[in-house]
Amino acid sequence: MKVLVLGSKGMVGSSVSRKLKKNSSLDIFESTRNDTNLFSLTETQKLFNDFQPNVVINAAAKVGGILANNLQRTEFIINNLKININIIESITKFPETKLINLGSSCIYPLGAEVPIAESSLMSGKLEPTNSPYAMAKLTAIEMGDAISKQYGHKVLDLMPTNLYGPNDNFSEKESHVIPGLISRMHRAKIENKDEFEVWGTGMPLREFLYVDDLASAIEFTIANDIDPGLYNIGSNEEVTIKSLVKSVNNVVKFQGKIIFDDTKPDGNPRKLLDSSKFTSLGWKPEVSLYDGLKVTYDWYLKNIV
């Protein structure tokens, strides 16, 4: 089976590639910007024509945290739309090719009932700060549905909860919460700071998934020929931001005082996916939050610091 991994150098793509390469029955092509510019329809079509994959895993995207999403709204919607449009157009001539499209839990409405089920899709307004990115991901789902109905493709849309792990983006202004906490707390430790400040009360509840667990979910869909559809992929474990900060501190070992600035916004009080549709098929996450944080911090020390 020929498997094409798009965005293979990113956090998700690199994890998926590592996982799938352990299976000798799979022929993996790890596509990067060096071989294909996914902003170019011509180059994207050439990649598909040359490799002719049985399975395409779309892990290519422009991603970032709330600040980056809010400040680069135009880039987030245009870049992600370009990538997905070129992939969908290129795959139309290969109706036997299965597409595994990776999205984000931000596709769901701000006021969706928690835990958030797949049925909440398109049932309300999006969270304003990352709505351009969410809209691009929603468009990818709709395009996948279109080629499925018109050309017969099998399309699986996997919507993971908040991901973290090796190869994450640890930039202070563009990162998600876990890599942001790790990088800031490590710097505070190295600089012998007396205090480490966290926005909000620390009371909001969040769900996190170690990236290798998402990779195992993708491998599971291939090995078991899972039916097309929309599937949430989560850990089903909620933690408060305060508990998360404590866990990060246990790994980083910052010695100062941690301050929660309750004059700053908390954001959504609770965000948990209902992943029962997928877990009922036989998959489950295996990496605990603490173990995942430890591996992530070790990777950060060896590759970023």
Catalytic residues: 133
Q: Are 37 and 43 in contact (CB under 8 A)?
A: yes
Q: Which residues pair with 29 in a beta bridge?
A: 4
Map tokens 């709330």 to a residue: 66
Which CA distances in Å does 68 have to 71, 107, 253? 5, 17, 28
